[in-house]
Structures are given as structure tokens and as C-alpha cells.
Amino acid sequence: MEDQEFQNKIKRLAYSSIFFGSSLIFIGLLILLIHFNVISFSSNHYNINNSYVINLDFQEPYQEYFDVSLLDDSKKNKEIKFGYQLFKNTPNYIGPNNDNLERAYAGNNLSCNNCHLYAGTKKYAGSLIGIIQRFPQFRGRENKIGTIEERINGCMERSMNGRVMPKDSKEMKAIISYMKWLGRDAPEDGKFEGTGFLTIKIPKRPVDLTKGKSVFSNMCSVCHGENGGGEKLPNSNVYKYPPLWGDDSFNNGAGMNRVITAANFIKGNMPFGTTYDSPVLTDEEAYDVAGYINQQHRPTKPNLELDFPDLKRKPVSTPYPPYVDDFSIKQHQLGPFQPIMEFYKEKYNMIKTK
């Protein structure tokens, strides 16, 4: 009898240890699977958690977290949606051929989205998530603290070859509402991995224009056209493939017209579909093709000599004078850049990256 009870006890003990043991294994496995992202409890891939780690590894354009069409039609949301439309299909609203010429702030038919990819959400494609938090900030081009409106107008006057969009216009307000919404969970300083562009290792030689041309013909012209003029969507002012040079492109004062900036953009984003973690071009190819593109004809911005009141602050690959060094314009356009960078390091103790 006692024996029987003892045996039952042993049995119960064995069963419960098997039960607890396997539960532990099960829980362990679950934790591992979650840890390695095999399973996920969130309904979308943008895990913006309380520690503000923004995970944009899955960066298809219309993930739920950035899908404006999921917003209801409150007054605020309507403004956000208008800002998104302006950003995506810019020429329809403020381009040179839109219905209301008073609103033709842009001088070309590019869209903001052509350079700030996936409506400003793609990593290392000039992401605008957190941009509101990153402003106001010091700007060398004007040598003063600049506001977000002034920064947007920087792109209006240069990338969009246009004119200043008034601070209180409904367009400016809508773009800013959209940007605020993009950064609704961004950290207080607006900084996280994936802002700006990748940085290439700058080759220690001038751009090779012959190689640049062949990269362009082999890897870029299928979309951007043999003459770099791009291609519009049918019956639309909006580009399917934006121009890389010519009258409808960014002007010579634009950031994209600096070889280093363009090479950095291209490295992480082109040919279209390229992502920062699996670039297609080598640093050498990105450098050469950027140099080739920037040597072609494009609109010129007036008054460029007024940029960078403190000329020391001019990026080394700024393609237009004046400079406070004795390097030629050609070297500022095509490199080699290391000697120029060394000059600023020695004379002014300034580290130049672009």
C-alpha cells in the first residue's frame, strides 16, 4: 500500500517534471524565434518601440506604418495626405506646368520623392523621418541657424530649380505636417541609423569620365534614357524615370551636383531597387558615374557666389567658385579630393567629408 502510494508520487513527480521541462524548452524556443525575427507579433514591420530604435529593414514603399491612405479624413489627416501627394507628385501641384501658375514654385518637373525615396522613408536615401526634430540646425551654406522651412526652400531653389515657397503657404504647411507625421515616433534629436546617404570610400584619383560614361550606358540608361532625359508617366507631368541632366533636371547649385554627395546617393540606391545593405555598384563605379552625370548640361542657379559666406565651410566637391584654396575648379568638380581635404585639415583643422 505504502509502496503503491510512493510509486504514484514518483509518477506524478516524473510527469510534472516532463511537463515543466518541455514548457521551458517551448518557451526558450519561442524567445529564440522572436529574437531572430522568425515570428513577430506586430502587424507591420516598422517596429518603433519605446527605446526609439527605428527598424526600417523592410522598406517597401507602402508599409502600414507609413501608409497615408489608412488615415481617416480628419482635418489634420487631410493636410498630411496633401503633403504626401505634394511630395510624391510634386509637379501636379507646384510644378511649372500645373494649373495655377501662382503656385509654380518648382522650376522643373522633379518630385521630392525622386531623391528622397519611398516618400522620404527609405534608409540612406535622404530619409526625412525625424527631420522636424533635426531642425533648426546650423547651415554652412547660409552660415546661420536655419529653420526646416528654409531647408525645404534650399531644395526648392536648387534640386527643384525653383523659387522660395512662402512659409505660410498651404503647400509648405502640408509638407511639414507630412514630415511631422513621418517622425511621429522618432527620437528627440531626430537621429537614427539610416539618415543621409551611405558614404563611399573616395578613390584617390580624379573621376574617370570614360568609365563613368560606360557605367551610365550599361547600368543607368535603360531607365534614365541614353540622353539622361528620363521618361514621364503616360499623360502626366510626373516622371516615371527622372532626368539626370538637361533643362528639366536639378540645377548646378544642388547638393546632388556635388560628386561626393551624388556618388553616396547612387551607391545605396541605384540602379533602382538597390538597398544600402546590398549595393550593386563598387565605390569606384559610383564615383565615376556621379562625375560623368555632373559634367553634363543642366540649369544654372544665379547668385551662387553668395553661398557659404564663410568660404572655409564650403564642401570640397562644391563645383562652383569662389574658394579659399588654390585648387582648380576642375579639381573641385572631379577630384582627386584628398589633397583638398588635407589642405583644410592642415590650415583650418577642419575635417571635410563631401
Q: Which residues would be at the binding site for ligand HEC (CB under 6 A)?
A: 90, 110, 112-117, 126, 128, 131, 134, 151-152, 155-156, 159-160, 175, 195-196, 215, 219-220, 222-224, 241-244, 250, 254-256, 261-262, 266, 270-272, 281, 289
Q: C-beta of 347: minimal distance to ligand HEC in Å?
A: 23
Nearer to ligand HEC, 165 or 340 (CB): 165
Asked whether the CA dihedral 163, 168, 171, 177 is positive or negative, the reply is: positive
Contact indicator for 174, 82 with CB cutoff of 8 Å: yes
Task: State the distance between the two ends of the chain, measured CA to CA, in whole angstroms.
Answer: 88
Q: Which amino acid is at 204?
A: K
Q: How far is the CB of 329 from ligand HEC (least distance, A)?
A: 19
- Joined together, the cell numbers standing for residue 222 give 535603360
Q: How far is the CB of 341 from ligand HEC (least distance, A)?
A: 16
DSSP-derived secondary structure letter, 145: E
Smallest gap, in angstroms, from Cβ of residue 344 to ligand HEC? Answer: 17
Q: How far is the CB of 274 from ligand HEC (least distance, A)?
A: 8
DSSP 98-138: SS-GGG---SSS--GGGTSHHHHTSTTB---TTHHHH-SEE
Q: Closer to ligand HEC by CB, 15 or 314: give it.
A: 314
CB-CB neighbours of 92 under 10 Å: 17
State which residue, 130 or 335, has the beta carbon closest to ligand HEC: 130
The angle subtended at Cα 180 by Cα 236 and Cα 108, nearest 5°, is: 30
Identify which of residues 48 and 293 has a Cβ nearer to ligand HEC in the complex: 293
Q: Which is nearer to ligand HEC, 71 or 223 (CB)?
A: 223
H or E segment to which residue 94 belongs? helix 91-94
Q: Nearest to residue 262, comparing CAs of 183, 329, 319, 192?
A: 319
Q: Which is nearer to ligand HEC, 8 or 124 (CB)?
A: 124
Minimum CB separation of residue 334 from ligand HEC in Å reads 16
DSSP character at residue 216: I
